[in-house]
Chain A
């Protein structure tokens, strides 16, 4: 039972992460490869706040959102100056730089040794979440709230503006819209989503080190997003289900870990290639073309 709940917690965290990626990749049509960097920033900032201050979750989540959001301004700046591949490459660079800092700035992040003994989340300053049951419930609540925010944004005129930018940014500018500001906000939201996922992860696992926030993790998130589908919430949920459940299924079949781990990755890779052929927008995604 606890094992099952553990999977639920991971699933909730991944849904939030993938929704974050979906904000930029799916809604605004900008391919970023640095989601894990924001995830990591959220986890480390969240850890420091949890360890230093006795604050309720909502306050910490807000601070984490704002700080990761501020980091996203670097990506926004890149998106103003660079297009397509160059922009994606810059986000890859950002990912590498953040990882290097997390790994090397030992005084603050303890580098490769990681930080352990991270305190649990407190709700309303009263209850400390202990054990997997409350975490499963709590992360589910946060996940639902995030899905709600995503859907509301998608349906709002802001969502429409992002879709318009995805189709033809030049035309949108000529129609009097500040597209840079709109994109900056999308990056900010995307980073904030990832940051909150990082905070949940850190306080649940109670130990973090930089290896959870690598370029591979970013690629993994993008894989999950594209397998599930871009542009809407159900695609992100499907993507998270796929990548979280598949390894468990393989374990269920009884494959040894040395085989199951690479096999799982090969299946992800194959799924990704096949989906690019059959439905480039992902299983449940929305048509990306003009």
Chain B
């Protein structure tokens, strides 16, 4: 019984980690509090739904279409909104407010096209696998496998290419970054494409299991934000640690409390971290003076 909850929690946590990575890629490099990621999450879900349920593409192809399209929209958001605002050296609050605007636009475009009613990707009953006392549904297996592969690919990308360092350099000082001969726009393009991809992967894996509605984005994003804070802001790998921790704790809480308390509990944990360990589990205190 306990093992079942632990595994469920870790798999959910993996999905939080993916979304947190999508958010942190933007937040750590550009300082934009990228709430529009919640909108991208919804957009990805509905493209996936259209591809599979309306155009009858196979699941994998549908997911690929969704990921590619979301990457495009993500880049578009940067090029049309964030980038010009950065050029004007707008304040953090201004970019946050404009992110709220983008979020509202994306979500309501989806409502305009698909309506408010919940949708599922596939109506068929999904098979389950049994390992001893452990029962995993087919979507959960996909979540675990693709989630782990994506996370591994990301860690490898950050560690074994120069991009990891360049993202960090960009977040430290944009002007210096330009003077060193790097192209900020090019780097931002990579950041937003990658971010869109991770948001979309997380979205597709999740909605394949539980379905979707246009207002789900913000609720899931705040879990990812909590994961990012718990893990430690400023470090990409910490998102993974934070996501898994959060998923695990939520799952264990569900053993005791009805699920409607989940968000409250999540935010209680988040607040505890904010107040008592704002640098997160893996973070460290820096000289700020």
Contacts and interface: CB of A to CB of B under 8 A. Distances in A.
A89 B108 contact: no
Given A85-B92, A272-B104, A288-B91, A93 B267 contact: yes
A215 B220 CA distance: 13
Contact of A273 (B98, B112, B270, B271): B98
Interface in A228-270: 258-259, 261-263, 265-266, 268-270
Given A88-B33, A90-B274, A216-B218, A223 B100 contact: yes
Contacts of B101: 223, 268-273, 276
A276 B105 contact: no
B268 A97 contact: yes
Contacts of B255: none
Interface residues of B, number: 44
A273 B90 contact: no
Nearest to A223: B100
B88 to A, nearest CB: 8
Given A93-B274, A215-B218, A104 B104 contact: no
Interface in A99-148: 99-101, 103-104
Contacts of A101: 264
B108 A86 contact: no
A157 B201 CA distance: 53
Contacts, number: 125
B256 interface: no
A223 B33 contact: no
A216 B278 CA distance: 26
A288 B92 CA distance: 12
Interface stretch (A59-67, A76-84, A181-189, A201-209): A76-84
A21 B105 CA distance: 22
A97 B112 contact: no
Contact of B229 (A89, A272, A277): A89
A226 interface: yes
Interface residues of A, number: 44
A78 B270 CA distance: 12
B111 interface: yes
A266 B264 CA distance: 29
Contacts of A92: 222, 225
A283 interface: no
B128 interface: no
A261 B98 contact: no
Nearest to B264: A100
B98 A272 contact: yes
Interface string B95-122: 1111011111101110110010000000
The DSSP consensus for interface residues of chain A is helix
A216 B81 CA distance: 21
Contacts of A266: 104-105, 108-109, 112
Given A82-B278, A259-B112, A96 B104 contact: no
B104 A258 contact: no
Contacts of B94: 276, 280
B93 interface: yes
A258 B115 contact: yes
Contacts of B266: 96
B264 A268 contact: no
Contacts of B91: 280, 288-289
A97 B108 CA distance: 25
A274 to B, nearest CB: 8
A167 to B, nearest CB: 12
Contacts of B263: 96, 99-100
Contact of A97 (B100, B225, B267): B267
B33 A85 contact: yes
Given A276-B85, A276-B90, A89 B274 contact: yes
B275 interface: yes
Nearest to B109: A266
A222 interface: yes
B113 to A, nearest CB: 9
Contacts of A164: none
A269 B104 contact: yes
A219 interface: yes
A7 interface: no
B98 A262 contact: no
Contacts of A55: none
B261 interface: yes
B93 A31 contact: yes
25 contacts: A31-B93, A81-B274, A82-B274, A89-B225, A97-B271, A100-B264, A101-B264, A104-B260, A215-B218, A216-B218, A222-B100, A223-B101, A262-B108, A262-B111, A263-B108, A269-B103, A269-B104, A272-B98, A273-B101, A273-B105, A276-B85, A276-B90, A277-B98, A280-B90, A288-B93
Interface of B: 33, 81, 84-85, 88, 90-98, 100-105, 107-109, 111-112, 115, 215, 218, 222, 225, 229, 258, 260-261, 263-264, 266-268, 270-271, 274-275, 278
Given A31-B96, A96-B264, 14 more contacts: A90-B274, A93-B270, A96-B266, A96-B267, A97-B271, A104-B258, A219-B100, A223-B101, A265-B107, A272-B98, A272-B104, A273-B81, A273-B98, A288-B93
Top 9 closest A-B pairs, CB basis?
A100-B264, A269-B104, A272-B101, A269-B105, A273-B101, A265-B108, A262-B108, A262-B111, A93-B267
